Amino acid sequence: MDMQKPVRVRFAPSPTGFIHVGNVRTALFNWLWAGRLGGTFMLRIEDTDAERSEARYEEQLMEDLRWLGLDWNEGVGRGGDCGPYRQSDRYGIYREYARRLLDEDKAYRCFCSAEELDAVRQEQAAKKETPLYSGKCRHLPQGEVDEKLRAGAPFTLRLRVRPGTVGFDDLVFGRVEIATSMVSDPVLLRSDGSPTYNFCCVIDDALMRITHVIRGDGHLPNTHRQVLAYEALGFAPPRFAHLSTILGPDGQKLSKRHGATSIEEFRRRGYLPEALVNYLALLGWSPATDGEEIFSADEIKAQFDLGRVVKSPAVFDPAKLDWMNRTYINKTPGEVLAKTARPYFEEAGLVADADADPDPAATDAWLGRVIDLVKTHVDHLDQLPAASGVVYGFADAAGGETAVPPEAPLALEDAARAALAPPEARAVAEEFARLAYGRERLDSESYREMLGGVKAATKQKGRNLYHPIRAALTGRDSGPDLERLIAVYEDGARLGLPRKVASCKERLRAFLAML
């Protein structure tokens, strides 16, 4: 590699659908490579498929990239000196180069109809031959060409593939070389004059001074055609790095069948962008040091090396991603998570919509404390409301369920009832309640004082002291730290939320009355 040349890479999605795990891994590896080498990461929109390209997909993919933190420093939405960066805005450029290739006889007009080409393909398939263009129009006499043009016969423009071999040194796959006899003369312009991906891509990568093309290995066959196009155009090809296909846990190509695959969906379900970035970086790449798997984007950037990308297919394991997301959720403070998680609580009717909330900041702060109490139970943030039953007084959701049960009176779980059955336990709970009823305000500090009082009065300590108090306050026999929970109950009750949070005294009265 020419180390003098500043590194310039691009992510070049086609806006024909939501971007999925595979596209984002490609974007990420480009972003990491540019970041590692202090280069430029460009966003180019490849919308030559006018029928399937839609502006909303373009907007969505930019939003996805921004959300993931994969900021680009040149391209669509950013500008730069190699624009325009949307291929549909560059048709004049492609036509000019097509004209040049035609004039130099490096490209030729092909008048074969789609039916004709199809018939040949079928014949080849029947004989189990590689489908290849017959070369019928390669050497049409000029007179015949002129005649067809006069008659208005439609034609495509094809690149004249030279004899010999074509190859490149892929940074992941190593030397890749094939005989050009195995390559059909690529179509550069379709019969409606629109340019094809292989043509636009080469011209753009050359004019945009791209140094490394990092993309999915599904493009390997295109790369041969593109290298031939570079030659014909007189451009030096960039370096190539093809990334292996991503498979599902069953070894099949990753698809919808394997669950969420679009970034939009991961975002909707409350995956954290830093967890996704961390997980996707490890799909095909690994750091030189073994063991550690949790890295920030900057840490990955500092050690990312295309030379350590493997060509064997990477397996996308949703369970591992969940583990990673959980890890990130647990290391992120609740008050930070509350900002992203609040809409899930709003949707479940547990807190007011922010714009209808008289004190949204107070709600956020309280929600952050709720989240800190229950977050160890979730894989993604959309599971948080259903995991907050200990605060709101509903039963825990089973197995990742996100629905919250309808509002109902407080219920004493059987295990809590059993915990309060022995007379000594009940005495502890009743003494605690008596002290609580006598206080104006309950908080963590008064809780500690009351504990001391109950201990002195009942002579109970340790589990015999805490367990009955927990049962009488929460209606459960296990759960998060009581001291913090008590303050969350009290503040939640004061906030007057759309879904009622019972105060400590209300809880004690209700539960003790059920014994």
Binding site for ligand GLU (CB under 6 A): 12-14, 46, 201, 215, 219
Q: Quick one: 13 or 389, whose CB is closer to ligand GLU?
A: 13
Residue 329 C-beta: closest distance to ligand GLU, Å: 32
Beta-strand relationship, 165-170 and 40-43: unpaired
Q: Quick one: 226 or 474, whose CB is closer to ligand GLU?
A: 226
Q: Which helix (H) or strand (E) holds 328?
A: helix 318-331
For helices 444-458 and 423-437, what crossing angle results, to 10°? Answer: 140
Q: Tell me how far the alpha carbon of residue 91 is from its chain's centroid.
A: 32
Is 385 in contact with 373 (CB distance < 8 Å)? no
Q: Quick one: 46 or 74, whose CB is closer to ligand GLU?
A: 46
Q: Quick one: 12 or 187, whose CB is closer to ligand GLU?
A: 12
- State the virtual CA torsion across 282, 11, 318, 254 in degrees, nearest 10: -110
Q: How far apart are CA 98 and CA 80, in angstroms?
A: 25
Residue 178 C-beta: closest distance to ligand GLU, Å: 19
For helices 91-103 and 197-207, what crossing angle results, to 10°? Answer: 100
Q: How far apart are CA 231 and CA 356, in angstroms?
A: 63
Q: Quick one: 86 or 326, whose CB is closer to ligand GLU?
A: 86
Residue 33 C-beta: closest distance to ligand GLU, Å: 13
Residue 90 C-beta: closest distance to ligand GLU, Å: 14
Q: Quick one: 76 or 378, whose CB is closer to ligand GLU?
A: 76
For 428, list phi and psi in degrees, rounded to 5.
Answer: -60, -50
Q: Quick one: 19 or 504, whose CB is closer to ligand GLU?
A: 19
Residue 201 C-beta: closest distance to ligand GLU, Å: 5
Q: Quick one: 98 or 200, whose CB is closer to ligand GLU?
A: 200
State both tokens at 169. Answer: 């040194």
State both tokens at 147. Answer: 């005649």
For 83-146, give the DSSP string.
Answer: ---BGGG-HHHHHHHHHHHHHTTSEEEE---HHHHHHHHHHHHHTTPPP----TTTT--HHHHH
Q: Whole-angstrom distance between the N-terminal and C-terminal Cα of the chain?
A: 77
Pinpoint the alpha helices (H) of 332-442: 334-347, 360-374, 389-392, 414-419, 423-437
Q: Which of 112, 154, 148 is nearest to 133 (CA)?
A: 112
Q: What is the CA radius of gyration of the chain?
A: 32
Pinpoint the alpha helices (H) of 388-481: 389-392, 414-419, 423-437, 444-458, 463-474
Q: Which of 300, 306, 301, 303 is nearest to 170 (CA)?
A: 306
Q: Reply yes or no on whether 256 is catalytic.
A: yes
Is 373 in contact with 485 (CB distance < 8 Å)? yes
Question: Which of 5, 136, 253, 256 is an active site residue?
Answer: 256
For helices 423-437 and 463-474, what crossing angle results, to 10°? Answer: 60
What positions carry a catalytic annotation? 256
